[in-house]
Amino acid sequence: MKMLSLFELSEAHKIARPIYAPDQSILLNRGASVKLAYKNRLEAFGILSVYVEDEFLGTIEDIDPVSDVVRQGATRIVQKAFDLAAAKKPLNIDELVRVANQITDDLLANRGCMVQFTDIRSSGAYRYAHSVNVCILATLTAIGLGYDMLRVKQVAIGSLLHDIGYALTDNPLDHPMEGFNLLRRYPMVHTLSAAIAVQHHERIDGAGFPRNLKGDAVHEYAQICALADMYDHLTNAEDGEHVLPHYALEKIMSEYNGYDQKIITAFVRNIAPYPVGTSVRLNDGQEGKVIAVPKGLPLRPVVKLFETSELIHLLDHSTLFVTEVIEKIPVAK
C-alpha cells in the first residue's frame, strides 16, 4: 500500500483503503480502480491523495488501531455536534461521550499498535476528521502516560471537542474560549475536559494563546491535545502540503520549550516514524521499503530491499539502521 496523489493515479491502480465522501458514505471501496472521470469527482470533494495497492509490498494487513468504521462514525457525530452548536441548539452529549469511550476501548483493545496511516480527508469533512484524529492521538498518549480510565476518558472527550469553538466563530483567536464556554454548560463534560478547549493553544513557555499561560498553569490534558493537534496539522495539512511522519515527529521533539518533556516522550512513542510503505536508505547504503513495524519498536522496521527483494529484519541486525527516507508524499498539483 502506498499513498499517491490524484495527479499520479491511473486506471491501473487499485484502491487499498476505502475513500469517503464528506457525508462519510463510501465513494470508492478497497480493490476498485479509478476511472479517469472519477478523478474529477474526488478532486471536487477536495480529496487530493489516495492509498493504492503496491505490487512490491504485496497485500498488507490494515493495522490502524481504530477501525475505519469507528473513525467514520465518530467523524459523522462530530460533524453533527458542530452543526448543532452553530445552530445554537443543544449538543447530543451522550452520543459524543459514547463515541469518545468507543475510541478509548478500541485503542485499549489494540494496545501497542502503532499509528501508521494518515487518514484521507475530503476538504468538506476536514475539521471533523481532524477532531477524531486528535482524539485518537491524545487518548493514546494519555494511555501511554499511565492515566487511570477516568482520566483517559476525560482526555478523549475533551480532545474530540477541542475545536468545537469554531462552530461559533471563524476567528482562530476566539475559538478556544468559545469552545470552553459551550462545553462547560454540560455537566457530563468534566471541567478539565472543557479546559482542553480553552488551553490547547497555550504553551508552557507562555508563547501560546488566548491567555499566554505559563508552566503548570497549562494543564497536562491541554498539552497532550496540543501535541496531537500539531502532529495532525503537520501530517494532514488542509492545503495538501503535509510532511512525512518522521519530519513531524522531529518537529514535535524540538518543542521542549512549549510542552512537558514527559508528555512529548509519551506522544512520540505511539507513532511509527517510518510507516509501512516508506522507502528508506539504510546505513550500509541498501535501499528498500518498510513492510512491517514491530509493536513498540518503531525504529526497527522490516525492510524489503529493492534490488534483491530480501527481507531485512532490523531487529536481527543491531548494526543496521534507517538513515534516510528517500521519497516524499506526492502533493497534487
Nearer to Fe ion, 163 or 202 (CB): 163
Segment interacting with Fe ion (CB under 5 A) among 39-47, 227-235, 247-255, 273-281 = 227-235
- Of 127 and 153, the one with the shorter C-beta distance to Fe ion is 127
CB nearer Fe ion, residue 4 or residue 96: 96
What is the 8-class DSSP label of residue 330?
-
Of the residues 163, 178, 202, 255, which one makes contact with Fe ion according to CB under 5 A: 163
Report, in angstroms and rounded to the nearest whole number, the Rg of the chain calculated over CA atoms.
20
Q: How far is the CB of 252 from Fe ion (least distance, A)?
A: 15
Half-sphere exposure of 227 (CA within 13 A, CB side): 38
Applying CB under 5 A, what is the total number of residues that bind Fe ion? 2
**Strand 49-52 to 2-5 pairing:** antiparallel
Bond from prior residue into 210 cis (ω within 30 degrees of 0): yes
Closer to Fe ion by Cβ: residue 4 or 189 = 189
Neighbours of 313 (CB within 10 A): 13
Q: Tell me the closest approach of the beta carbon of residue 114 to Fe ion, in angstroms.
A: 22
| Least Å from the CB of residue 170 to Fe ion | 12
| Choice from 77, 229, 230, 279 touching Fe ion (CB under 5 A) | 229
| Cβ distance to Fe ion smaller for residue 29 or 212 | 212
The amino acid sitting at 113 is: C
State how far the Cα of 185 lies from the Cα of 144, in Å rounded to an integer. Answer: 30
What is the separation, in whole angstroms, between the first and last Cα of the chain? Answer: 22
Q: Output phi, psi for 186, to 5 deg.
A: -105, 110
CA distance 46 to 50: 11
Residue placing its CB nearer to Fe ion in the complex, 178 or 229: 229
- Check binding of 202 to Fe ion (CB under 5 A): no
| Smallest distance, Fe ion to C-beta of residue 176, A | 7
Residues in the site for Fe ion, rule: CB under 5 A? Answer: 163, 229
